[in-house]
């Protein structure tokens, strides 16, 4: 997004925006930590994986890879995701997210209040 990732009150997370759109706020059930999706990563495209921001390499190693329950607090905006991604469409991974988001347009997406994801 062009801003620094945050490890403050609500922490940053990255996802495939066609799975978890920009601005999605969620809580990790077991820790009650809150995150907001404000980044994406090429390795996340086509997955239900979320990368969490941690403030040090040690914290990243300590967390590792986990399968956890998350509670969606607020669903992000697919429209805002498309608006941010459109100028970046020269990259193959971004084009894949844009195509998936455009395919969803006009369809009703059932949003559950909780989900299970690899973090």
Q: Can you give the residue ranges of every domain in the chain?
A: 11-118
pLDDT of residue 16: 94
Give me the residues paired with residue 25 across strands: 36, 74
The model's pTM is 0.78
Rounded to whole angstroms, the Cα distance separating 114 from 97 reads 22
pLDDT of residue 115: 53
Q: Pick the closest to residue 117 from 63, 71, 76, 70 (CA basis).
A: 70
What mean pLDDT is reported for the chain? 83
Exposure string over 74-107, b if 16+ CB within 10 A, otherwise e = ebbebeebbebbeeeeeeebbeebbebbeeeeee
pLDDT higher than threshold 70 for residue 109: no
pLDDT of residue 35: 94
Per-residue pLDDT tens for 21-64? 999 999 999 999 999 999 998 899 988 899 999 888 999 999 99
Find how far residue 92's CA is from the centre of its chain. 18
């Amino acid at each position: 997004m062009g801003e620094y990732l945050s490890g403050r009150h609500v922490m940053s997370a990255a996802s495939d925006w066609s799975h978890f759109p920009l601005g999605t706020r969620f809580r990790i059930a077991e820790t009650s930590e809150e995150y907001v999706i404000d980044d994406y990563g090429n390795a996340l495209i086509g997955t239900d994986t979320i990368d969490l921001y941690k403030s040090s390499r040690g914290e990243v190693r300590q967390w590792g890879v986990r399968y956890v329950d998350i509670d969606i607090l607020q669903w992000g905006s697919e429209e805002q995701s498309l608006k941010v991604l459109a100028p970046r469409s020269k990259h193959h991974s971004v084009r894949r997210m844009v195509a998936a988001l455009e395919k969803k347009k006009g369809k009703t997406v059932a949003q559950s209040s909780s989900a299970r994801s690899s973090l």
